[in-house]
A and B are shown apart, each in its own frame.
Chain A
Amino acid sequence: MNKIHVTTTVNGDPVEYLCEPQETLLDVLRNQLRLTGAKEGCGTGDCGACSVTLNGRLVCSCLVLAAEAGGQEVATVEGIADGDNLHILQKKILEHAALQCGVCTPGILVAAKALLEKHPDPTEVEARYWLAGNLCRCTGYDKIITAVMDAAAEMRGA
């Protein structure tokens, strides 16, 4: 085995790990760092359940090699709440009953947060297209979109 030593930052904390060259960031987050919020729904970038941000950019962690994360800033669902204080998006997802099984929810939250950071005032259609890479099979997306739009309005102070 020829493991690679990686120094990186996850949710603001310095992290070091050894990874195999073909291991993905998702593998390392889940299996080594035990950050199991990101889920493997497909492993091929088609479902978005493993969404994280890399230097603020929304990506599927199943399509990033763990070795690539060296020196970068990784953010996962585990870092969205500020201690015990939920992020507005988390509150709105709960208030609007916008999750049923909840397995897509971590990815939805990471993706929606990235959306609102870039577009604080999205239209509903923009929100739907931004989240098109996050499959949800339970909700029909209705309540998710309602929650995201409501969170956007509240974050804008509307």
Chain B
Amino acid sequence: MALDTEKREFKIIGTRPLRPDGIDKVTGRALYGADMVAPGMLEGKILRSPHAHARIVSIDASAALALQGVKAVVTASDFSEAKGELMQNILENCMAQDKALYHGHAVAAVAATSETIAKQALKLIKVDYEVLPHVTEIEDAVKPDAPVLRPDRRAKGAPEGTPANITNLSNFGHGDLEAGFAKADLIIERSFRTESTHQGYIEPHACLASMGPDGKADLWCCTQGHYAVRDMCASFLGMSLSQLRVTASEIGGGFGGKTVVFIEPVALALSRKAGKPVKMAMTREEVFKASGPTPSSLADIKIGMTKGGKITAAHAKLRFQGGAFPSGTIDLGAMCAFAAYDLEAVRAEGFNVMTNRPREAAYRAPGAPIGVYPVEALIDELCIELGLDPLDVRLLNAADKGTKSSYGPTFEAIGLKATLEAAKAHRHYNTPLGPNQGRGVSCGFWFNFGGSTSVSMSVNDDGTVAVTEGNPDIGGSRASVGMMAAEELGIPYENIRTIVADTNSIGFNDPTHGSRVTFSVGLATIEAARDAIKKMCTRVAKIWDIDPDAVMWEDGHARPAGENAGNYEPMSLAEIAAIASKTGGPIAGHYEVNADSAGVSFGVHLADIEVDPETGFSTVLRYTVFQDAGKAIHPAYVEGQMQGGAAQGIGWAMNEEYIYGKDGLLQNAGFLDYRIPVASDLPPIEAVILEIPNPGHPYGVRGVGETAIVPPLAAVSNAVSRAIGKRMRALPMSPPKILKVIKG
């Protein structure tokens, strides 16, 4: 695919126009998941397991069904058998089958004429549980006598003696580790620990489902990917894909947590049974208990380095806990761990283990933050031991174009060195620190994703253009997509309206995940515009009676090219559109692609932190993000991704964690004790955008959404460690943990 950046002067790309959905979102008019209503609508509620692990002996809903106003109760038997292990796992996570696998696991659901009645009905459902021994921590789940969640889910091909809760084995790397370590002047090996975190989107999951007696259904929900919701729900309800139309509402944050279903199939099953629309919304407590947090992790990292700072060998052993089901996130963690470095000998291996916790879901660069954190923390320790500058060491070892990455592929043009150099030259890095203050540095990496994408655009008679895409707009993508359409067509941004269509309106789209939307939907939009342009040029060629190849498109006009140049008055898009019906009918462009040319993305973060030596309280004084965006389409929203990712990473590093008691119950299912950063916790976050074009996108775009959550864990940890003069090796670094390390 041709990269046009070099030869192109952009008019709209790189500017900061207002987002088209902005007015709706500052006036309260925008409709989110819980804002939709339907005539005759019922309220749905879910009964959840009070136990961490229990066999469901029986469920008696007769008393609930007898309550006036109750219209339906569903349990696992109301769903079809899902196809394939992954789908079976997702279904079982939505509704427990023979066992409740974690505190908060759904066991039954009710639909009633009011929320009050639905809640009363939940209390009337009698579930006979046989409580089983539980396990919530990695160390315990791999013990020989650990309670086993599902014996049949043990990793396939695992060696004899592998504990039964181990589900996924990972192994990446190349080169001779032993020879590499032999070349090192200093080898350090350390163990690290992180706790589960949650995406913490402010909007709880919510949906409205309506199924008619003919089996046709409509589902309105907040999701990152309504096509994926359709596919999962259709499977669980035994429907064909065309009979279930899913419309994505506005979405109040997702960060990966809304790429899978939780309540949506339940609402559909209730609606099918009750014959009425059913609305469901999780409470915040339910979101924490029963949506998808991240894995927690243990890591053993060993790195060898020369006196000059060259890494000679690196080895990571990672253990993730991804809840009550198999999880492949360990692969992503192992692949990302050393991706920033050009290494001769490197290996990252690990496994996932099942515990009695909710099934993990993606969270912004899933696996990368906890794969990269222990590596970047250990590199910092090596830098201190060897008296080396942490940015110099990273520059010396940085991956570059042509580097064989630690996970296999060879990198194309990448921006890591430029990003490190920008950090080194920045005034932040050269500002002196005060007492009890430390500065932390970390690199971060994310693959970025492309995926299946469909875009269509119709040229209206008045010269405006309707762009139809299928990816929920989480952070301004209607603006960036509209900008790319306007740029390519050569018309004002204001003449474009971009809508996110339902699953029956255009072809399949992968969810808004993997930092793919500006890249993939952008690419498809540009190509759809080129398709429309080609058709417009053909129409004009017909009018002028010249060869279509002799018509060029420039600045929103069809112009005669080559030997015809100057012979005809150029025609604007609006002029062509106005007479479209006379030249062959409506004009539209479309493009469908499985985009596989997403460029990887690197970032470098600097964190200055002051620690109160008497209490362990830490204050982030200054924070700067440097990241390669390829090409920033709407720089303000690119900065926003960088700042938001950094803030989430800071929260992960400092205070956020799932806390389970010895009873296996979640202790902090609320925003009071699951402590995400508040406005007064953070300083201004400076975002420095670098633009090293991705050769795989017409404008050079790389995804920017995820990389920024990767570096903060180690940047903050390194800053705290330098501030207190001792190493922190566990997250979150809540004040009691820091004070304990200070006091030694």
Contact = CB atoms under 8 A, between A and B. Distances in A.
Interface of A: 20, 22, 30, 34-44, 46-47, 49, 76-78, 80-81, 86, 90, 93-97, 99-106, 109, 124-125, 127-129, 131-146
Listed residue (B26, B37, B253, B677) with the most chain A CB atoms within 10 angstroms of its CB: B26
A103 B206 CA distance: 13
B201 interface: yes
B303 to A, nearest CB: 31
Interface stretch (B14-22, B153-161, B340-348, B658-666): B14-22
A37 B16 contact: no
Contacts, number: 183
Interface string B668-696: 00111000111111101100000000000
A146 B686 CA distance: 12
Contact of B19 (A34, A44, A94): A94
Interface of B: 16, 18-19, 21-23, 25-32, 34-35, 37, 116, 199-204, 250-255, 281, 283-284, 474-476, 634, 636-637, 639-640, 643-644, 646-648, 670-672, 676-682, 684-685
Contacts of A47: 202, 284, 671
Given A100-B640, A103-B201, 9 more contacts: A80-B26, A80-B27, A101-B475, A103-B252, A124-B684, A128-B680, A131-B680, A135-B200, A140-B677
Nearest to B651: A137
Listed residue (B29, B34, B252, B648) with the most chain A CB atoms within 10 angstroms of its CB: B252
A55 B58 CA distance: 52
Given A39-B203, A94-B22, A135-B671, A100 B679 contact: no
Listed residue (A30, A76, A97) with the most chain B CB atoms within 10 angstroms of its CB: A97
B385 to A, nearest CB: 33
| B interface majority secondary structure | loop
B689 to A, nearest CB: 13
A125 B26 CA distance: 24
A43 B284 contact: yes
A137 B637 contact: no
A124 B163 CA distance: 54
Contacts of A137: 199-202, 253, 255, 644, 648, 676
Given A39-B34, A77-B27, A145-B679, A138 B671 contact: no
A139 B724 CA distance: 29
B27 A78 contact: yes
Contacts of B254: 101
28 contacts: A36-B28, A36-B34, A41-B203, A44-B284, A44-B672, A80-B26, A81-B27, A95-B18, A97-B476, A97-B636, A100-B474, A100-B475, A100-B476, A100-B637, A101-B203, A101-B252, A103-B202, A127-B679, A128-B682, A132-B680, A137-B200, A137-B644, A138-B474, A138-B640, A140-B644, A142-B682, A143-B639, A143-B643
B474 A101 contact: yes
A103 B27 contact: no
A39 B32 contact: yes
Contacts of A41: 202-204, 252, 284, 671
B30 A40 contact: no
Contacts of A96: 636
A22 B681 CA distance: 34
B202 A39 contact: yes
B678 A93 contact: no
A103 B25 CA distance: 8
A20 B680 contact: no
B282 to A, nearest CB: 10
Contacts of B18: 94-95
A46 B670 contact: yes
Contacts of B255: 137
A146 B16 CA distance: 16
B19 A140 contact: no
B720 to A, nearest CB: 19
Contacts of A139: 640, 643-644, 647
Contacts of A39: 32, 34, 202-203, 252
Contact of A128 (B25, B201, B637, B679): B679
Nearest to B634: A97
A42 B286 CA distance: 10
A12 B19 CA distance: 30
B25 A105 contact: yes
Nearest to A91: B26
A37 B353 CA distance: 42
A55 B511 CA distance: 43
Contacts of A77: 26-28
B672 A143 contact: no
B484 to A, nearest CB: 17
B68 to A, nearest CB: 12
A143 B648 contact: no
Nearest to B116: A20
Contacts of B283: 43
A40 B204 contact: yes
Nearest to B27: A81
A143 B202 CA distance: 18
Contacts of A44: 284, 670-672
A42 B671 contact: yes
A136 B640 contact: no
Nearest to A107: B202
B28 A76 contact: yes
Contacts of A95: 18
A105 B37 CA distance: 22
B250 A102 contact: yes
A144 B253 contact: no
B647 A140 contact: yes
B678 A135 contact: yes
Contacts of B475: 100-101, 138
Nearest to B637: A97
Contacts of B37: 34
Contacts of A105: 25-26
A105 to B, nearest CB: 5
Contacts of B634: 97
Contacts of A132: 678-681
A99 B680 contact: no
Contacts of B27: 37, 77-78, 80-81, 86, 90
Contacts of B637: 97, 100
Nearest to A23: B116
